[in-house]
Amino acid sequence: MVQTHRGAVPDGWAGKKSAQTRVPFTRGFRAAGLFACLLLSVCLLTLCGLGRPVSAASETLSGSGVLRVNPGQAPQPIASAYLMLKDPSGGLSLEDIKARRADFTPLRMGDAPNFGMSADTYWFRVGLYPEATEDIRHITKILEVTAPTLSHVRIAVVDPVSGQTVSDLQTGYSYPFDSRPEQYRGFAVPLELDPGRPVDLYLQIRSLGALDAAATLWDPKDFEEYSRDSYLVYGLYFGALGALILYNLMLFVSLRDTTYLLYVAFAGALALGNIAHTGIGFQFLWPDAVIWTGIAHVTL
């Protein structure tokens, strides 16, 4: 007969007790992880809902090169009105482009033209016609060039009659972030238009990465609301991603399973890539690191 002394621990009891105390601990971790995953999914769905607006057919005539502008109108994607001129060498100046105004041809690629990985420079022209009203002297719009991953963006407003340049701005991630007229993760430029006075809008873009030429014309109030909502959703998204990273890091510390550490590395790389491609990193983390921004857009 096997006798056990008082106070002795039976074989296997220590392991069972350790496992029992670890179950509530890991269950709490799992609940936190599931909540973070749910929040991440909600943020992704919300970001999809914050996509590009759709304009009315009466305001944007596909391939016409003309866009009617009214105060207080809904946001308008302008790419369907693009006239395009390709500059493979990138050596054409604005004066050269104005002289070749008749060489522009309709793009006809819809509201979200994408040229893939291209080293070429592209010029786009859109005629803006601010409709005359009796009680409004100026129409203010915000032009948003959607992709934050463009290395060079030039936005020029030209009088089509005299050829005089009304305004000319150059930006992109190859310039310090403080050079942008609007503190926004993408490219947003205010436009002051006179009712009844048409202008030509020239947009020059090039990039070392994917070249997305989508752009939207916003009423300032609508753009402010859109910008605020998008930053809120991105904050929730990156917060949920950070919670997942912390959750798996704590699992690794408690269970010593390298699988969780690998997931931490994967989620961290995913977060860094998204921070770079959304322009949030350039705005808040490395606003003067122009070279690193270019590397991050191509490699992450």
Identity of the amino acid at 44: L
Statement: residue 300 has pLDDT above 80 = no
Statement: residue 251 has pLDDT above 60 = yes
In the chain, ranges of CATH 2.60.40.2380 domains:
66-218
Tokens standing for residue 236: 């929730």
- In degrees and rounded to multiples of 5, residue 156 shows phi and psi of -125, 140
Statement: residue 15 has pLDDT above 70 = no
- In three-state secondary structure terms, 191 is strand
Q: Residue 64 has what pLDDT? A: 58
Q: Which fold has domain 66-218?
A: Immunoglobulin-like (2.60.40)
pLDDT band at 155 (very low <50, low <70, confident <90, very high): very high
Beta carbons of 143 and 155 less than 8 angstroms apart: yes
As a whole number of Å, the end-to-end CA separation of the chain is 68
Q: List pLDDT tens digits, range 27-83.
A: 555 555 555 556 555 555 555 555 445 444 334 444 458 899 998 899 999 999 999
In sequence order, which ranges of the chain are alpha helices (DSSP H)? Answer: 13-49, 94-99, 220-255, 258-277, 280-284, 290-299
Global pTM reads: 0.81
Q: What's the rounded Cα separation, in Å, for the pair 250 and 95?
A: 60
Helix/strand number for the chain, H first, E second: 6, 13
